[in-house]
Amino acid sequence: MAIGTETNGSIVCPSSVNGVVGIKPTLGLVSRSGIIPIAHSQDTAGPMARTVKDAALLLAAMAGADPADPLADSFPDAVPDFAGNLSKDALKGVRIGVLRSHYGAGNDARVDKIVEDTVATLKSLGAEVVDPVEIDTEGMGDAQREVLYYEFKADLNDYLERSGAPLSSLADIIEFNDEHAETAMPHFGQERMLAAQEKGSLNDPEYLEALAASKRIARTGINQALEAGNLDALIAPTRGAAWMTDHINGDQSSGISSSSLAAVSGYASITLPAGDVVGLPIGISFIGAAYSDVRLIQFAYAFEQAGYLRKPPLFD
Query: Which residues form the domain of 293?
Result: 2-138+212-306
User: Same structural domain for residues 27 and 93?
Assistant: yes
Looking at residue 315, its pLDDT comes to: 80
- Give dist(CA 121, CA 208) in Å, integer: 43
User: Same structural domain for residues 245 and 105?
Assistant: yes
Looking at residue 135, its pLDDT comes to: 93
User: Same structural domain for residues 125 and 176?
Assistant: no
Domain membership flag for residue 311: no
Looking at residue 70, its pLDDT comes to: 85
User: Same structural domain for residues 109 and 151?
Assistant: no
User: Under a CB-based contact definition with an 8 Å cutoff, are residues 147 and 204 in contact?
Assistant: no
Domain membership flag for residue 151: yes
Looking at residue 72, its pLDDT comes to: 82
Domain membership flag for residue 46: yes
Looking at residue 292, its pLDDT comes to: 97
What is the DSSP secondary-structure string of 130-151? EEEE----TTHHHHHHHHHHHH
Residues of the chain with pLDDT under 50: none
Looking at residue 166, its pLDDT comes to: 94
- Give dist(CA 248, CA 267) in Å, integer: 37
Looking at residue 245, its pLDDT comes to: 82
User: Under a CB-based contact definition with an 8 Å cutoff, are residues 25 and 3 in contact?
Assistant: no
- Give dist(CA 281, CA 313) in Å, integer: 10
Listed residue (36, 71, 2) closest to 290, CA to CA: 71
User: Same structural domain for residues 12 and 121?
Assistant: yes
What's the domain count of the chain?
2
Looking at residue 140, its pLDDT comes to: 96
Is there a cis peptide before residue 237, judged by omega within 30 degrees of 0?
no
- Give dist(CA 75, CA 290) in Å, integer: 11
User: Residue 105 belongs to a domain with what CATH number?
Assistant: 3.90.1300.10
Looking at residue 194, its pLDDT comes to: 98
User: Same structural domain for residues 180 and 246?
Assistant: no
Domain membership flag for residue 249: yes
Q: Which amino acid is at 26?
A: T
Domain membership flag for residue 316: no
User: Same structural domain for residues 123 and 216?
Assistant: yes
pTM here?
0.94
Domain membership flag for residue 161: yes
Q: In what order do the strands lie in the sheet with 233-237?
A: 2-6, 44-49, 21-24, 269-277, 280-287, 233-237, 95-99, 128-133
- Give dist(CA 11, CA 74) in Å, integer: 23
